[in-house]
Amino acid sequence: MLTYSEIGFTLAALGSSLYLLCKRKLSKQLPLPPSPGGYYPIVGHTFVMPTKSEHVAYARWCELLGSDIISLTVLGQTIVILNSLNVSEELIDQRSEIYSGRPSLRVITDPDLFDWGGGIILLPYGPQWKKQRRIMHEILKPSAASNSYALFEKETHGLLRRLLTGPESFEKELRRTVAAEILSSVYGYTVKDTDDALVRDSATLVKNFSIAAVPANFLVNFIPWLKYIPAWFPGAQWKRNIIEWRKLKEHVMNGPYEWAKAQIASGLAAPSIVQAHLASIEENPKANMIEEEENLRLVGVVLFGAAADTSHASLMSFVLAMVQHPHVQSRAQQEIDQVTHCERLPTMADRDSMPYIRCIVQEVLRWQPPLPLGVPRATSEDDKYRGYHIPKGSVVKVDRITNAWAMTRDESVYPSPEVFDPERFLNTSAPAAPAFGFGRR
């Protein structure tokens, strides 16, 4: 005869089994979001995955399928694409506890490959992420940013002088300017030449990262054992490239940081984020110096690489918009002249007096988002949405790709979306362009 404890244990086991069975059955009953054609057994959508202009391909599939949420499967990995403001807000914002993880894109995060999984962009939630976020917050908070306005204005004036004498090199000059602002703020480093090696290397590094961030560009993301293929092996050019990219990443991450430390040690350092943070670490006897310095290096390279690249992209889009729409440029000039009385250049203090200029900034970010696809996320548990099943990341890794480019083309939110029209943000309820993502992080 069973004892009460044995009966209780049996009932608990049966209950748990029934719960898991029902959950599994329910997940099987609920389909994944709709998928495009090109699916084959085992490999899934591998052969139709875009390797460039992902945002355009995803938007086209969503239009063909008549859905703002679709899915693809690549060698067993489910990828869910969100293609509207509404669905992104409902999932990424309102269910942020589920959708705030990061997928492990093997070619980027594996220590034997690109080895860039330790930075805040790709880190999962945890102590290291919190420490890097705290450093990032101290750097980017409004009060800290306002302290850099004088630097920004100085670099902008230098840019204008150089453009007057050599406008044909505007692309390089814009890149130099945004890089100079960040390098000076973070490391106290002064960029003295448009062809500065550090500026050039950072641009190459970001380009390499962008290539690596497209999952379909590297089969090792889906076939893990490929990482063990020797670099000298025929057909392993991808691995030889990754090894070189990793060396460049280490150079860009460590070079300016070690330079800043040497300047501090010699007493010649200009004020910088690295200088201030190292001083605060040294004042804390409980601080783990090695760990704190590593986090500072990683935050520095993210700011220098990613922030400089997105700022440069937005400035290039602004130039294109002004060339294509001279009437917008003319109205912007009129507003600037009214505020400055044609006696000086505008400053950050004039920002609130220039609503049309602010609208141009918003429209540039909407018209050509600097990050057409947000950084992918991963779900921490199974989810149901609109009758669809979105699998838990630990079972089937789910990459959440927010298609910011497609969202800015949503005619229900932004009428005539292909038209560059700053006035859509003037005295209207048009939402700010989703240029900087959704949800926590």
Tens of pLDDT along 391-418?
Answer: 875 222 333 345 566 678 778 888 898 9
**Residue 440 pLDDT level (bands cut at 50, 70, 90):** low
Q: Model pTM?
A: 0.76
Predicted confidence (pLDDT) per residue in 324-365, tens digit: 999 999 999 999 999 999 999 999 999 999 999 999 999 999
Q: Among the CATH numbers 3.40.50.460, 3.30.43.20, 1.10.3720.10, 3.30.930.10, which is that of 23-103+371-441?
A: 3.30.43.20
* β-pairing verdict for 77-82 and 383-385: unpaired
Tell me the angle at which helices 237-266 and 273-282 cross, rounded to the nearest 10 degrees: 70
Mind listing the pLDDT tens digit for each residue in 234-282? 999 999 999 999 999 999 999 999 999 999 999 999 888 899 889 988 8
Check whether 77 has a pLDDT greater than 90. no
CATH 1.10.630.10 region(s) of the chain?
A: 105-324
The predicted structure's pLDDT at residue 17 = 41
Residue 371, C-beta contacts closer than 8 angstroms, at least 6 positions apart: 310, 404, 435, 436, 437
* Residue 382: Cβ within 10 Å count: 20
E strand or H helix that includes residue 389: strand 388-390
pLDDT score, position 136: 84
Confidence at residue 405, expressed as pLDDT on a 0 to 100 scale? 66
| Range 127-149 average pLDDT | 81
Is the separation of the CB atoms in 261 and 275 below 8 Å? no
- What is the rounded CA–CA span in Å between residue 10 and residue 16? 10
Using the structure block, give the residue that is written with the tokens 């860009």: 252
Pick from 302, 300, 295, 243: nearest CA to 114? 243
Asked if pLDDT for residue 144 goes beyond 80, the answer is no
Amino acid at 357: I
Confidence of residue 431 (pLDDT cuts 50, 70, 90): confident
The whole-number pLDDT of residue 373 equals: 55
Check: CB of residue 190 under 8 Å from CB of residue 216. no
Contact 345, 157 (CB under 8 A): yes
**What pLDDT, on the 0 to 100 scale, is given for residue 59?**
84
Is residue 45 pLDDT above 60, yes or no? yes
CA distance 386 to 33: 9
pLDDT band at residue 123 using 50, 70 and 90 as cut-offs: confident
Exposed/middle/buried for residue 420 (C-beta within 10 Å: 0-12, 13-18, 19+): buried
**pLDDT score, position 35:** 93
**Per-residue model confidence (pLDDT) at position 377:** 79
Residue type, 66: G
Top pLDDT among 429 and 256 is at 256
Q: 155-167: per-residue pLDDT in tens?
A: 999 999 999 998 9
311 contacts 329 by C-beta, under 8 angstroms: no
The more confident residue out of 441 and 358 is 358
pLDDT number for residue 117: 86
Quickly state the pLDDT bin for 305 (edges 50, 70, 90): confident
* pLDDT tier at 4, thresholds 50, 70, 90: very low
Strand partners, 384: 389
Classify domain 105-324 at the CATH topology level: Cytochrome p450 (1.10.630)
C-beta separation of 208 from 248 below 8 A: yes
At 118 the pLDDT is: 85
